[in-house]
Chains A and B, each alone.
Chain A
Amino acid sequence: MEPRLIDGPDALPDGEVVRRVLAGEAALFGILVERYREEFGRYAAALVGDPDRAADAMQEAFIRAYRSLASCRDFARVKAWFFRILTNQCHDQRARRRREAPLEGFDAPARERADAAVMDGEVRDAIGAALDRLTPEQREAFVLRHVDGRSYEEMAAILGTGVDALKMRVYRARDALRQQLEHLHE
């Protein structure tokens, strides 16, 4: 990829990147791709619950963002705009994964073996099941808070939602997880 100035004092601000991409420097879009892939990769992986589908969701989100870049109203806030596109793609991929779950069985034993060294598969499944029971908004908030480790103020800036409402979503998600984990040990 041509541009390397992703971070640091010499990095182009998001709004400037968008202006130049729309003026014809398509390769500069790579700055946003690398920047946001690094920032939101963990979020996408947790929200989808499957690494390959998370990669598909990110890929599709970037291409959709590029196609409709001119419709982004505030170039300086392109990150929040892209975040919404990515989140929608992640929800789609999660729903598709649940629908097509039996089709993905053939490599499941290999994945489970690999995961067993890191954490108990039952616990992972319990978290997955608990996340499935949340509303999409609660799931987003929980992942941003606990997987990404963001403050409520950061979350509010990205999601455009008030801090109190975000706290309520995170609290409900924790309650659901607690209940799921209690079942696990009954």
Chain B
Amino acid sequence: MSELSKFSPEAQQYLDGDSAVRLEGAERASADRLEQVIAAYTAQLRVPGAEVDGAVMRRIRELAASRSWWSWLLAPRAIRVRPAVLAVAAAVVLVVLWRVGEREPPVRAAAQTVLVRFQLAAPAAHDVTLAGSFNGWSEGIPLRKSVVPGLWVVTLPLPVGEHQYLFQVDGNQWTPDPGAHAQVDDGFGRTNSVLVVGPRGVAGP
């Protein structure tokens, strides 16, 4: 950076709102212009709204429920048990461990997951969900309204690999993702969107 493009110490004080500093000429114009640009930039920012609160508190309720379940399991408590029942239970455990030990050790699947953001422009929609090979095409995962008008978004942790998916708008027809890298025929007359997740994020088309 050249010295010319740096503000003088006085200009820095002026930009800090020091009313004792008198700034004139080109430096004053440059400082004022910077302030105007920052004000315009700040005015166009779209700030996260109350939809964040709802999404966070839904997740917190789930976490709190699982936490209380664990607390119940881990809390010390007195248990009365008949010795005969204990002996049978121990025998069952031994048999199971013996059978498991005979099998080949399982191959560990790659546990790597990557956060992937899905988005669909659907300005007229009241409800948008997502289903795909990553959730067994079962119940729809809800998307939330973005702060960008008409845009629906959700971020999911997905394992590395290739996935197929579709959106469903207002519980009606299934819709491929117009922004997907590829579309593929599912063999039943429907077109699925394809997503390839690599270790460093979504792979390019």
Contact = CB atoms under 8 A, between A and B. Distances in A.
A82 interface: no
A55 B43 contact: no
A126 B203 CA distance: 28
A63 B56 contact: yes
Contact of A56 (B1, B49, B117, B200): B117
B64 interface: yes
Contacts of B7: 171, 174-175, 178
B76 interface: no
Nearest to A180: B5
B1 to A, nearest CB: 5
Contact of B34 (A29, A102, A174): A174
Interface stretch (B92-100, B126-134, B143-151, B160-168): B143-151
Contact of A55 (B52, B63, B179, B201): B52
Interface residues of A, number: 55
A14 interface: no
Given A114-B149, A147-B45, A178 B56 contact: no
Contacts of A96: 115, 201
B37 A123 contact: yes
Interface string A101-133: 011011100110011001100011001000000
B121 interface: yes
B48 A175 contact: no
A17 interface: no
A154 to B, nearest CB: 14
Interface of A: 1, 24, 26-27, 29-30, 33-34, 37, 41-42, 44-46, 51-56, 58-59, 62-63, 66-67, 96, 99-100, 102-103, 105-107, 110-111, 114-115, 118-119, 123-124, 127, 146-147, 167, 171, 174-179, 181-182
19 contacts: A24-B68, A26-B67, A33-B52, A37-B48, A45-B48, A63-B56, A63-B60, A63-B63, A67-B63, A96-B115, A99-B200, A99-B201, A106-B121, A107-B179, A119-B40, A147-B45, A167-B16, A174-B12, A181-B37
